[in-house]
Structure 1
Amino acid sequence: MKTISSCVEDIIASKPFIEEALNEQIINFSALASNLQMPVSKMLRKDVKTGAIMMALRRYNQPINASTSIRLKHVFNNLGDITVRSGLSDFTFKNSKTLINCNTKVLDSVNLKDHIFYAFTRGIYESNIVISSSEKITVLNEFKDEEQIGLQENLSAITISLPKENSKVVGLYYHIFKRLAWEGVTLYEVISTTNEFTVLVEDNLVDKAFSVIKCLKQ
């Protein structure tokens, strides 16, 4: 049977920003209770007073797995180097039978050059190439017969080296995304390997994004 407390818990669980604000004790309980009055009333199919909702908010305890919390702190304390690369372009092409051949030609070209950023991601219907903007002409030439869906320039990549145990820790990426979102950093794209995590942002956001990620280590 649904109660006011269970309804409040369900709503908060679906809104990470509210949960974070409650955890940090930086939210006005009265204002939040008023905001939740209508959705809680609809869930219970009866009128609910804001005072009862406020009581449920004050009793709310964020579910914390002690073991997970300790492992998360360990991972963040042991983050490796943070590398920033600017001057990047992101190409999006529709998948085709010849796309991989085009990509191979670009890869052969950049392998002969030092300090070129390159990442290729193939999805179900489309593929992305993130590459140093100096190689833009190379990509356009090699993919000239492919269907280009998009191109975004003036991007920067921030790459974080992760401890080897990162794949066993629950909530690692969630906390990174949450902190970036909390600071208003829009992610253009995310690229990851087993022990590296890269976020792609527009150039005007790179300083803020770097600051957020650097603070995770603290």
Structure 2
Amino acid sequence: MITVPEATEKIIRRSRYLSEALSKDIINISGLARYIKPEIEAMLIKKVSLSSIIMALKRLSGNIYPDTPYQEIFKIAPEITAKTNLAILISDSNIKDSVHFLETQASTGTVILGKKEDLSKYAGRNSRFFYPVSSISISIPKDAIDTPGIYYFFVKSLAWERINILQVFTSPMELTIVVSDKDMQRTLEILRSLFRRT
């Protein structure tokens, strides 16, 4: 029969977000206990006390270290480049002859990042135009291709700092994040801080 501590650990380890927040002591343990209580009770098929879950979380918080392969993959800081004064066009239709910097097409339309003068002619009723925006590109090592959550490592850090990401473009060797020009400097600082050795 599974115990409260075992069920608690199973739930926390399953969620990268919860395990990281618990290991860094940045989450309210009582609130977390209330949140996971219904799931623990379903796993144990019986009622459990909130205090037993809180105790299990407190014990776990000192022993949980999220699996972070990022330091191993990024032995040296990746190349991070920024381009400013760009525009982004989100169109409901596909655009065939565009001169662009980055583009992604899906059945729902097209997203293009490029110079304002190249994209403004495509702006219309069925599109949204954002200007000025910046793109920040991060080179990704070959080893990262088989690493789950590699983009999460970057996006999570920006989300926690309340950076609004307008668009993300990915390829096996590069991640490009598009933000408003006003957020570009802070975004760069946050991304570079991930690789500072203390």
TM interval, shorter chain, is 0.7 to 0.9
CA contact (8 A) 2:88 2:111 kept: yes
Name the CA shift for 1:129/1:28 in 2 (closer, same or farther; >3 Å): closer
Which of 93, 97, 105 is 1:122 aligned to?
A: 105
Residue by residue, what CA displacement relative to the aligned partner does 1:38-73 show, whole Å, maximum 9, x if unpaired? 5544665643212210222134354755xx62xx21
| Higher helix content, 1 or 2 | 1
Q: Are 2:151 and 1:153 equivalent residues in the alignment? A: no
* 1:56 aligned partner: 56
Q: Are 2:7 and 1:20 equivalent residues in the alignment? A: no
CA contact (8 A) 1:90 1:152 kept: yes
- Higher mean alpha-carbon deviation, 87-96 vs 42-51, is at 42-51
Q: Are 2:115 and 1:132 equivalent residues in the alignment? A: yes
Which of 58, 72, 75 is 2:73 aligned to?
A: 75
Give ranges in structure 1 of 5+ residues lacking alignment.
Answer: 108-117
Give the distance between the partners of 2:115 and 2:14, measured in 1 at CA: 38
Query: Identity rate of aligned residues, in percent?
Result: 27
* 1:112 aligned partner: none
User: Which runs of structure 2 are paired with 1:4-43 in the superposition (5 Å)?
Assistant: 4-9=4-9, 11-13=11-13, 16-37=16-37, 40-41=40-41
* 1:178 aligned partner: 156
Q: Could you say what secondary structure the match of 1:189 adopts?
A: strand
> 1:176, CA displacement in angstroms?
1.4
CA contact (8 A) 1:79 1:160 kept: no
Name the CA shift for 1:20/1:154 in 2 (closer, same or farther; >3 Å): same
Larger Rg: 1
**Matched residue pairs, number?**
194
Give the distance between the partners of 1:85 and 1:159, measured in 2 at CA: 9
Residue by residue, what CA displacement relative to the aligned partner does 1:95-140 show, whole Å, maximum 9, x if unpaired? 45xx32x32xx35xxxxxxxxxx11111122111111224344444
User: Which runs of structure 2 are paired with 1:180-195 in the superposition (5 Å)?
Assistant: 180-195=158-173
Aligned Cα root-mean-square deviation (Å): 2.9
Residue by residue, what CA displacement relative to the aligned partner does 1:157-184 show, whole Å, maximum 9, x if unpaired? 1111222322133332121122122222
Q: Calculate the TM-score normalised by the size of structure 2.
A: 0.79
Give ranges in structure 2 of 5+ residues lacking alignment.
Answer: none
Q: Could you say what secondary structure the match of 1:25 adopts?
A: coil
Which one has more relative contact order, counting CA pairs under 8 Å at least 6 apart?
1
Which of 120, 140, 144 is 1:166 aligned to?
A: 144
